[in-house]
Every structure is written in C-alpha cells, then in structure tokens.
Amino acid sequence: MRIKREDCVAVMVDVQSKLFPHIDANEELESNIIKLVKGLQVLGVPILITQQYTKGLGETIESLKELFGNEFRHIEKAEFSCLDNVDFQAEFMGLSRDHLIIFGIESHVCVLQTVIDAVAMGYIPVLVEDCISSRNPNDKTLAIVRAGYEGAIVTSSESLLFELTRISGTEEFKAISKIVK
C-alpha cells in the first residue's frame, strides 16, 4: 500500500526533557526526529505533538520545539494512547486523514498503544522505526514486532520521506535530499 502525503497526519509522541536523557540511543533518535520533522514540514504533512504529564516529564525537548517556532503547541495528555485523549482525537479526526505517522517515546508504551488504537479505530498507523525508542532497547524491539503484528506499516524516516515525495527533480525532492544527508 502506497503512503500518500495527502492521507497523512503525523504525531510526535512525548519527546520530553526529563525522560529523554534516559532513552536508549537518544542522540541518534534526536537527529532522526529532527530530519523527519523538517521533511514532513517541507511536504506539508500536519504534525500533532503530545506531552504526557508535563509537570512530571517536562516540556518537549528544545531542539524539537525550535523546529516549530511560534507555531509550537502541544496536546496535554495523561492517557498512554494518544487516541484515548479527546483533544487529540478532535485534532486528528478534524484533519480527515486515514494514515497516522507515529514517532517518539516510549516505543513500548505510548507509541505502541497509539498504534494499536489506530488499527482498532480503522486508521492506518505508520511507525517510523528509527524515530522511536525506549529506555531499554529490548522494549523497542518488542514494540516494533507487536506493532507489525497489529497491522502497522513499519518504515524508516528516509524511506517514508522519499515515498511521500514520490518524484525526483522537484524543489521538494531537493529539499528532502538535503535534509536526509
């Protein structure tokens, strides 16, 4: 099944300052998420941002907040699954798209539960494997296996960005190529 940008909404799940330092391979994860967000912005894919219990886990990490500038705003949640949160549901469903690109932390909790609920609600989750992580690398591995079993499309950030771009020789292609290098 082809992933088309006009069908997609992305969600950056809980990439927060007090948890992030404890996440496995967090520097690589941060770099990958920055590239993905920049690419999605070039392609005009809406990006929703969640924060889980901000008082305890902190704000979205600064390097990611900066990518949104004055447009940064997040959806506060206590629920593990983004789709259990009524504010998130309203934002997502209001965009009338059926593919949900999912990335962030932690893989085996909020990310995975969002994948499971997306499938249960009839949406198509696209899990960006190199843009998710957990404190324990084994939890990430198991989350990817479970997500695939549940019906998620599992892909990498670069593969996804080029699939959404679809054709070379355009200004978007040039911008995406520059971002992923």
Q: Enumerate domains of the chain plus CATH numbers.
A: 5-180 (3.40.50.850)
Residue 72 scores a pLDDT above 90: yes
Q: Rounded mean pLDDT of 15-25?
A: 98
Q: Rounded mean pLDDT of 137-152?
A: 98
Residue 75 pLDDT grade (very low, low, confident, very high; cuts 50, 70, 90): very high
Phi, psi dihedral angles at 17 (to 5 degrees) = -60, -35
Q: Provide the Cα torsion 112, 68, 77, 116; round to 10°.
A: -20
Structure confidence by residue, pLDDT tens digits, 154-178? 999 999 999 999 999 999 999 999 9
From residue 121, alpha-carbon distances to 26, 93, 138 in Å are 31, 11, 28
Neighbour count for residue 56 (Cβ, 10 Å): 9
Q: Rounded mean pLDDT of 103-116?
A: 98
Q: Rounded mean pLDDT of 106-131?
A: 98
**What is the layout of strands, in order, in the sheet containing 99-105?**
75-77, 47-52, 8-13, 99-105, 124-133, 153-155
State the pLDDT at residue 114. 99
State the pLDDT at residue 81. 99
pTM metric for this prediction: 0.97
Residue 11 scores a pLDDT above 90: yes
100 with 123: CB under 8 angstroms?
A: yes
